[in-house]
Amino acid sequence: MPDIASDAVIDTALLPVRDPAKLLAEVHAGWGGRDDLWIFGYASLIWRPEFEAAEQRPAQVHGWHRALEMRSRINRGTPECPGLVFALVAGGSCRGMVYRIERERVDDELPRLWAREMPTGVYDARWLPCRTPLGAVTALGFTLSRSSPNYTGALSDEHLLGVLRSACGRYGTTLDYLMETARSLRQCGIRDHGIERLVALVEHHALVTG
């Protein structure tokens, strides 16, 4: 069984009814089966992809940005003390990684990825044009609508610090999630000024040591 340690597993009572199987079928039809499938990763898919990729490249998407603006009530928090995870929100641009799944493996790997990211249909899966050092590719990305009940919008530093001090779910704390994402982006040579500011805030308030 795959490890479906999804940052997207949340309180389904807060979501409109969306059939994940139907959404997967739509994405599969959009892919068409003619070529290899590319996936865009911007946070935990970089440091915990959990699928077999034949190739990976740095990539940049325009029109979307990485933001710590999605509630997590199971994996990085609880219903009583929600945590936060990164989401791909409209506006700006985002540097991340793209992963190529060989055409012959898509029918095995895509359902596993879907079980991780889309068990409740929380994201809007989109085909995103991505610039890479070896040319443009179109990759499947998981975006979050501002109309989603799980979208928080911009939060004050005071609110963020409260979450980072206290939120913990079945896969660990929001603080650990933030720091692991920051570490993996640095290792990939990706600078994200918003994340660097959050790390500086964490360090200034001594939430991490060493």
2 lies in some domain: no
Looking at mean pLDDT, say which of 6-10, 122-126, 135-139 comes out highest. Answer: 135-139
101 lies in some domain: yes
108 lies in some domain: yes
Into how many domains does the chain fold?
1
The residues, ordered by sequence, that sit 6+ positions from 16 with a Cβ below 8 Å of its Cβ are none
Q: What is the rounded CA–CA span in Å between residue 118 and residue 123?
A: 7
112 lies in some domain: yes
The secondary structure of the chain as a DSSP string is ------TT---GGGS----HHHHHHHHHHHHTTSS-EEEEESSHHHH---S--SEEEEEEEEEEEEEEEEEESSSSS-SSS-EEEEEEEEEEEEEEEEEEEPGGGHHHHHHHHHHHH-SS--SEEEEEEEE-TT--EEEEEEE--TTSTTB--S--HHHHHHHHHH-EETTEEHHHHHHHHHHHHHHTT---HHHHHHHHHHHHTTSS--
pLDDT one-digit tens code per residue, 37-52: 999 999 999 999 888 8
Percent of the chain residues topping a pLDDT of 70: 91
Say what the pLDDT of residue 116 is: 84
pTM: 0.88
pLDDT one-digit tens code per residue, 51-101: 889 999 999 999 999 999 999 988 899 999 999 999 999 999 999 999 999
23 lies in some domain: yes
The residues, ordered by sequence, that sit 6+ positions from 108 with a Cβ below 8 Å of its Cβ are none
Q: What is the rounded CA–CA span in Å between residue 83 and residue 187?
A: 25
pLDDT value at 9 more than 90: no
- The model's confidence at residue 163, banded by pLDDT at 50, 70 and 90, is very high
Judge whether 168 and 177 are in contact, CB under 8 Å: no
Q: Which domain holds residue 30?
A: 12-204
Say what the pLDDT of residue 210 is: 58
- Selection from 43, 99, 98 nearest residue 66 by Cα: 43
91 lies in some domain: yes
5 lies in some domain: no
Angstrom CA distances, 151 to 67, 117, 154, 186, stand at 10, 16, 9, 26
pLDDT one-digit tens code per residue, 171-200: 899 999 999 999 999 999 999 999 999 999
Output the domain CATH number for residue 107: 3.10.490.10
